[in-house]
Amino acid sequence: MGMQSPGPIKQWRLSIGTLLFVGLGLVLTAAATLGFVLWSAAAVDRRALDQQAALARHVIQSQLARVPHEQESITIWDDSIVNTSIAFNEEWINVNIGRWMLDYFGHDDVLIVNQANQPIYAMAEGSAMGDARRDAALAQIMPLISQMRVQIAGGGLDAYNAGSVAHPPRVSELAVIDGTPALVSISPIISDSGTLTQPTGSEYLHVSMVRLDDDYASRLGEEYQIPALSFSFAGSAVPGIAEIPLTDIDGRFIAFLEWQQSRPGQALLDQAIPAIAGAFLIAALIMLVLMRQLWRNSSALEAGRADAEFQAAHDHLTGLPNRLRFESALTQVLMQRPDRDRRISILVMDLDRFKTVNDTLGHRAGDDLIRAVGQRLSQLLGPDEILARLGGDEFAIIHRHAPGLNGPFVLSNRIIDAIGKPFDIFGSEAFVGVSIGIATVESEEADAHELVRKADIALYEAKAGGRNRAIVFEETMNELLQNQKTIEVELREALRLKDQLSVAFQPLFAADGSIIGAEALARWTHPRLGQISPTHFVPVAEATGLIGALGSFVLRVACELGAKWPGYTFAVNISPAQLRDASFPSTVFDMLAQTGMRPVDLELEVTEGILLEEASEAAEALRIFRAADIKIALDDFGTGYSSLNYLKRYPVDRVKIDRSFVSQLAPGSVSIAIVQAMVTLAHALRIDVTAEGVETQEQMAVLRALGCNVYQGFLLSAPIPSAAFEKLLTEPESRVA
């Protein structure tokens, strides 16, 4: 059964797909963003490092330019020539050159050499330099001194004196002096006034050395705003420490210049990452919440849809498939290829006396009972058999069995047994019976509707046949029911001609076995269909208004017999439709008058339902009849709407306990208690009790023990023609049963 998938589901699913897509996009975006941010931060840092390295190199270059510039404050000075080469004055040199350079410019070591490059003055950090160190230093800087000599010889000084260059020759390089890296700068000592002339090449040279130590590094760092600037011989492995190698004039390694690398990209990252992560986290959370909501909504919707689907196909009370589902399942079963040794039958069931339970114990009890019945039925079925509740107290089964009718009958008997056992409802015991109509699939092109209809007809037959039984559908039933119109037409014809209709009399017996009267039962012998049961044609007569004529016919025959046999009771069944007819009492009185029957010998059998019609024509008619000494019997007692209490309000002369109770009577059976209650109450109200449908000696014995007054049933006598009945009255010994 293809259910169409409702639109919203599709949309929800779509949204989930979209959301997943968006979620994936979010993750990818996050990854890409993160990747890009990391990459650009690294790029920024790389560029920053390049700049810092360039700055570091610039710092060294500018130092290499600055130191000679600072030297020139004393090397281009007449006093310096005078106190070094002309009249060597160590004291003056100490004050004006050595100390001055140290204190004012931070030049750690100072050397002065003569024209022969011999040291005439050597000072280390303010005091006289040891000879060993002085010689070592001199040896190391000799190449630079030579360079200076070459520059001077090449006319470097002349160009300066001529004013064509900005400063005298300078040699300023990095070098390792006595194991210490240092900046070494050499300047010639020359005249500032130009009055003191020296022959070219005779100039004394002044050497300033600035040690590349921590002190110097921190001073530079402060000046150039470079954090943690330092010199080291070994490269740093510490992350975040950047370095450049420093080399001497020959390209030999001298030291590393190191500093705390500034990483703006990393710094940005450190700040941005939490924000970015936070943003993505929030986005992810929102996504999650959205997806969860969507998922919930869609699963709720899906569950709702499945529920609605189930609800539409199932009965809410029992959870069993409903009529709709049953019929579609049946259609499917019928569509399957027929199996040679499997047959399919359907059983349609209707509870007997369910209404009694419902009306006496209440609707909730009725619901409980239906549920319990559903459970009992399910327990009887095989796995591939289908049980459904068609509605009300009607159930149906799709039954698979071997060819022949044995299967359905065995199942039916088990069902009747199971349902016949008492139900515990709200602590009290409830008793119901079940009538079953069976229809078997005969031909290949069976139709589900048709099959159910046939089973319904058989069910109707089963109920009419005395309830608590199973009847298999036969074609003759169909013929009758299929065409109500035909029955109507033919019944009308039968009523006109009369020769097809007759009245049978079923004797009524006292406890001692003597006949006390008879019940008149209409009989129709159809020329083509044969015997038609009153359970078929009486309802048609009631529905079509023919019941009046039919009832009058039976009444006339009964009254004629009653007139012949005064002292015997003749019971006639009266339909509610007849009772409601205002002219009915006069019909009865006319009939009595015409036939001469005594009113006291006539008993009218009415059904319980009529008692509910308080203050109606029917109730009024009953009062009139009783006033005229005509007896009133309540037929089918216990099956209808009334409770025992009605008996107190509506005086009747007799109750006829329905044969569905009688058929369940067996020693120890629960029905005994019910019948006992009915008899006790009736007798308390001075009402006689007739047991109808007595079929076995066992039932007879029980009924007798319970104190029933009158007995009727196949055990004692079937309904018989009037002649046969009269024969029984005259010759009681001719009784066969």
Q: Which residues bind Ca ion (CB under 5 A)?
A: 573, 605, 635-636, 692
> 3-state secondary structure string, 416-471?
HHHHHCCEEECCEEECCEEEEEEEECCCCCCCHHHHHHHHHHHHHHHHHCCCCCEE
Between CA 271 and CA 274, with CA 272 as vertex, the angle to 5 degrees is 85
* Binding partner of residue 468 among Ca ion, ligand C2E, none, CB cut-off 5 to 8 Å per kind: none
Residues in the chain: 737
Between CA 557 and CA 564, with CA 561 as vertex, the angle to 5 degrees is 145
Quote the least distance from Cβ 494 to ligand C2E, whole Å.
Answer: 13
The correct pick among 320, 346, 554, 675 for binding ligand C2E (CB under 6 A) is 554
Site pattern 260..299 for ligand C2E (x: CB under 6 A): ----------------------------------------
Quote the least distance from Cβ 713 to ligand C2E, whole Å.
Answer: 3
Interacting residues with ligand C2E between 649 and 668 (CB under 6 A): 659
The helix-helix angle for 547-564 and 534-544 (nearest 10°) equals: 120
Nearest CB to ligand C2E, comparing residues 441 and 522: 522
Give the three-state DSSP class for 351: strand
Quote the least distance from Cβ 656 to Ca ion, whole Å.
Answer: 5
Quote the least distance from Cβ 553 to ligand C2E, whole Å.
Answer: 8
Quote the least distance from Cβ 540 to ligand C2E, whole Å.
Answer: 12
The correct pick among 15, 533, 587, 669 for binding ligand C2E (CB under 6 A) is 533
Q: How far apart are CA 443 and CA 454, in angstroms?
A: 14
Give the three-state DSSP class for 506: strand
Q: How far apart are CA 287 and CA 27, in angstroms?
A: 11
Interacting residues with ligand C2E between 423 and 482 (CB under 6 A): 466
Q: Which residue minimizes CB distance to ligand C2E?
A: 713
The correct pick among 75, 172, 318, 573 for binding ligand C2E (CB under 6 A) is 573
Residue 538 found at the interface with ligand C2E (CB under 6 A): yes
Contact 181, 254 (CB under 8 A): yes
Q: How far apart are CA 185 and CA 183, in angstroms?
A: 7
Quote the least distance from Cβ 558 to ligand C2E, whole Å.
Answer: 9
The correct pick among 535, 583, 594, 734 for binding ligand C2E (CB under 6 A) is 535
Quote the least distance from Cβ 665 to ligand C2E, whole Å.
Answer: 12
Nearest CB to ligand C2E, comparing residues 486 and 552: 552
Site pattern 588..627 for ligand C2E (x: CB under 6 A): -----------------x----------------------
Quote the least distance from Cβ 550 to ligand C2E, whole Å.
Answer: 6
Contact 71, 167 (CB under 8 A): no
The correct pick among 184, 636, 675, 722 for binding ligand C2E (CB under 6 A) is 636
The correct pick among 695, 696, 704, 729 for binding ligand C2E (CB under 6 A) is 695
Considering only the stretches 123-131, 482-490, 567-575, 579-587, report the one whose residues sit in contact with ligand C2E under the rule CB under 6 A: 567-575
Residue 587 found at the interface with ligand C2E (CB under 6 A): no
Residue 539 found at the interface with ligand C2E (CB under 6 A): no
Q: How far apart are CA 182 and CA 210, in angstroms?
A: 5
* Binding partner of residue 695 among ligand C2E, Ca ion, none, CB cut-off 5 to 8 Å per kind: ligand C2E
**Residue 63, both tokens:** 């130092």
Nearest CB to Ca ion, comparing residues 258 and 603: 603
Contact 500, 707 (CB under 8 A): no
Quote the least distance from Cβ 356 to Ca ion, whole Å.
Answer: 15
Long-range contacts of 91-94 (CB under 8 A, 24+ apart): 93/121, 94/123
Quote the least distance from Cβ 656 to ligand C2E, whole Å.
Answer: 7
Range list of H helices, 225-263? none
Q: How far apart are CA 75 and CA 71, in angstroms?
A: 6
Nearest CB to ligand C2E, comparing residues 280 and 714: 714
Nearest CB to ligand C2E, comparing residues 327 and 605: 605
Q: How far apart are CA 689 and CA 678, in angstroms?
A: 8
Closest listed residue to residue 88, CA positions, set 124, 117, 112, 123:
112
Contact 396, 326 (CB under 8 A): yes
Measured CA distances, 53 to 57, 60, 265, 624 (Å): 6, 11, 16, 131
Nearest CB to ligand C2E, comparing residues 311 and 535: 535
Contact 182, 210 (CB under 8 A): yes
The correct pick among 156, 366, 507, 719 for binding ligand C2E (CB under 6 A) is 719
Quote the least distance from Cβ 534 to ligand C2E, whole Å.
Answer: 4
Considering only the stretches 35-43, 233-241, 560-568, 687-695, report the one whose residues sit in contact with ligand C2E under the rule CB under 6 A: 687-695
Specify the residue for token string 């319980």: 608
Quote the least distance from Cβ 714 to Ca ion, whole Å.
Answer: 13
* Binding partner of residue 466 among Ca ion, ligand C2E, none, CB cut-off 5 to 8 Å per kind: ligand C2E
Closest listed residue to residue 480, CA positions, set 540, 559, 414:
540
Closest listed residue to residue 566, CA positions, set 628, 527, 509, 517:
517
Nearest CB to ligand C2E, comparing residues 98 and 551: 551
Contact 519, 602 (CB under 8 A): no
Name the amino acid, one letter, at 218: S
**Dihedral (CA of 550, 553, 559, 562) sign:** negative
Q: How far apart are CA 183 and CA 67, in angstroms?
A: 8
Please spell the DSSP secondary structure of 363-386, one letter per residue.
HHHHHHHHHHHHHHHHHTS-TT-E
* Binding partner of residue 11 among Ca ion, ligand C2E, none, CB cut-off 5 to 8 Å per kind: none
φ, ψ (nearest 5 deg) of residue 562? -65, -35
Nearest CB to Ca ion, comparing residues 439 and 647: 647
Nearest CB to Ca ion, comparing residues 334 and 521: 521
* Binding partner of residue 212 among Ca ion, ligand C2E, none, CB cut-off 5 to 8 Å per kind: none
Contact 431, 419 (CB under 8 A): no
Quote the least distance from Cβ 4 to ligand C2E, whole Å.
Answer: 49
Residue 551 found at the interface with ligand C2E (CB under 6 A): yes
Quote the least distance from Cβ 683 to ligand C2E, whole Å.
Answer: 22
Quote the least distance from Cβ 505 to Ca ion, whole Å.
Answer: 12
φ, ψ (nearest 5 deg) of residue 47? -65, -40
Name the amino acid, one letter, at 517: G
**Residue 177, both tokens:** 């002096």
Closest listed residue to residue 120, CA positions, set 212, 178, 189:
189
The correct pick among 105, 409, 646, 714 for binding ligand C2E (CB under 6 A) is 714
Residue 579 found at the interface with ligand C2E (CB under 6 A): no
Quote the least distance from Cβ 737 to ligand C2E, whole Å.
Answer: 10
CB-based burial label for 656 (10 Å; 0-12, 13-18, 19+): buried
- How many residues bind ligand C2E (CB under 6 A)? The answer is 24
Nearest CB to ligand C2E, comparing residues 168 and 507: 507
Closest listed residue to residue 108, CA positions, set 248, 216, 256:
216
The correct pick among 109, 178, 603, 635 for binding ligand C2E (CB under 6 A) is 635
Nearest CB to ligand C2E, comparing residues 265 and 719: 719
Nearest CB to ligand C2E, comparing residues 68 and 551: 551
Q: Which residues bind ligand C2E (CB under 6 A)?
A: 466, 506, 521-522, 533-535, 538, 551, 554, 573-575, 605, 635-636, 659, 693-695, 712-714, 719
